[in-house]
Amino acid sequence: MPIIDPNLHIQRLERLVEVCRDLGKSEDVEHLLQKIVNASRELTGSQFCFLFVYEQETDLLKIAAGPLDHRETLSRIRIPIEKSLTGWVYTQSRPTIISNPQKDPRIFRDMERVLRYTTQSLIAVPLIFRGQTIGVLEAINKRDSSQYNEDDLMVLDTLASQAAVATLSTILFEETKNAHSEAQQLDQMKNNFIAIASHELRTPLGLVLGHATFLRELVSDEQQKSQIEIIIRNATRLKSIIEELASVNGFQMGTARAHIKTISINSLIQNIYAQHIESAKLRKISIHTTLLARDLRIEGDEEKLEIALSNLVKNALIFTNPGGNVFITIEPLPGYVQITVADDGIGIPESELTKIFERFYQVQSHLTRRHGGMGLGLSVAKAMIEMHNGQIWAESDESRGSKFFVLLPLTNGPNPNSKVFHN
C-alpha cells in the first residue's frame, strides 16, 4: 500500500468539498466547469487541464474549459473520436494514465503546438452520467515531473462526476428551451437540475466522506484531525442539503406521499422543542412553549409536519441574537389549529416578506452569510404544510422580530397529490 501524505489528502478533500458546494450554488455552468478544470490542475499538480464534451453537430470533441489565456484559440479546436487518446477514453468510458506519451500515436499534437508544450505524462477520465459518456476530463504534465498515480485518478474521477452533472444540466435546459415558453424553460431547468444534483451528487459526496473518515483514522496530529473533522462536518452538511433538494423536487413533481396517522398537537410541539433545546442553549437563546390544556389531534404525516415546524424553529434560532427568545404557541380555532413560531430577533425587511418562501431565496443578512444554507428550509416547510391542506405566512418587524403562522385543519387530512410551488 503506497504511503499516504496526510497533508496532501486534507488539501485535496477540502478542495473537493468546496467544488461540490459550488455545484449546488452556481447558476453559471461555464464558470463552474472552469472552476472544475482549475481545481483539477491544482489538485493533481498539473501544467494543463482540459474538459472536453461531445459536439453532436460535428461528431467531434470540443474543449469546454481549459487555460483561460488561450480560450479563443482552443474554442476552435476539435478532436476526432477515432485514433485519438481523448476519443478512446470517450468511446471506451475508461480512465487511463499514460506515462510515456511520446510513443503513443493517439496523442493529439495540435494542442501542443498551440500551447507550446510537450506531453510528458497524461491522465484522462470520462464524464459519465447515468451510464452515458458525455465528455472527458484530462490533465497533462505533473509540474514536478513525476508520474500520475491512483491518488490523482481518484481526484480527477470525483471532479469529472461534478462536471458531468453541470454539463447535463445545460444539455437538459437546451432541450427544453425550444419546446416551452421562457417561464416554462426556467422552471423545467430548475426541476432537472434538482433531480440531477440530488441523485448524482451522492456518489462523489460518498467518496469525500469515505476518504475523510479513512484519513481520520490514519493521522495522529491533532491539528490535522481538526482539519479532517471540518471536512467531514461540511460534507455531512452537503448531505443534508441534498436531502432537502430531493424533498423539494418530490413536491414539485407531485410525487411526494404522506404516511397518515393520528397526531397529538401537544406531542408534536414537545418533539420540536426536544430537537432544538440543546442548539438553543449553545446559542444562549431561550425556547418557550405553550401547550393546550385540552389536547387536539389531527390526521397527517407526523414526520413531514415535524420537518416543517423544525425548519421554522431553526430559522428563528439563526436570526435571533444571544440572550433572545423563541416562542412556540398553539391556538385552537374553529375547525383549525394555529401554531405560531415567534422570535425577538433581527426581523425581516418588509420588501422581502413576499419572497422568503421561494426556493433558494435567502434574506440578505450577516447572519445568513455566517450560517450559510441553500434557502430551502422555508420552501420545504411551505410545501409540507400545503400538502396537509394548511396555510403558512409570516409577519415581521425589523426592530421586534418575526412570527411564522401555521394553520392546519382538524379534519380532511393531507392531500398527498397536491401540486405545490406554483410560482
Domain CATH number, residue 45: 3.30.450.40
Residue 89 burial by CB count (10 A; 0-12/13-18/19+): exposed, middle or buried?
buried
Least confident of 146-155, 272-281, 308-317: 146-155
Distances from the Cα of 371 to the Cα of 40, 208, 339, 362, angstroms? 28, 22, 26, 11
Which of 165-169, 205-209, 244-248, 270-274 has the highest average model confidence (pLDDT)?
270-274
Is it the case that residue 253 has pLDDT exceeding 90? no
How far is 185 from 173, CA to CA, in rounded Å? Answer: 7
Is it the case that residue 248 has pLDDT exceeding 70? no
* Residues 227 and 345 both lie in one domain: no
Of 226, 252, 278, which one is at a domain's C-terminal end?
252
As a whole number, mean pLDDT of residues 260-280 equals 92
* Residues 206 and 284 both lie in one domain: no
* Residues 237 and 299 both lie in one domain: no
* Residues 235 and 284 both lie in one domain: no
* Residues 211 and 355 both lie in one domain: no
Residue 33, in any domain of the structure:
yes
How far is 362 from 259, CA to CA, in rounded Å? Answer: 30
Question: What pLDDT is attached to residue 174?
Answer: 54
Residue 417, in any domain of the structure:
no
* Residues 273 and 314 both lie in one domain: yes
Kindly report the pTM of this predicted structure.
Answer: 0.46
Is it the case that residue 6 has pLDDT exceeding 80? no
Residue 229, in any domain of the structure:
yes
Residue 268's domain comprises 261-409
End-to-end, the C-alpha distance of the chain in Å comes to 54
* Residues 56 and 103 both lie in one domain: yes
Is it the case that residue 114 has pLDDT exceeding 80? no
| Total number of domains constituting the chain | 2
Of 252, 285, 309, which one is at a domain's C-terminal end?
252
As a whole number, mean pLDDT of residues 343-364 equals 77
* Residues 240 and 340 both lie in one domain: no
Of 223, 252, 281, which one is at a domain's C-terminal end?
252
Which stretches of 24-66 are assigned E, i.e. beta strand?
46-55, 60-65
Mean confidence (pLDDT) of the chain: 78
Residue of 61 and 1 predicted with greater confidence: 61
Residue of 280 and 176 predicted with greater confidence: 280
Q: List the CATH number of the domain containing 402.
A: 3.30.565.10
Is it the case that residue 372 has pLDDT exceeding 50? no
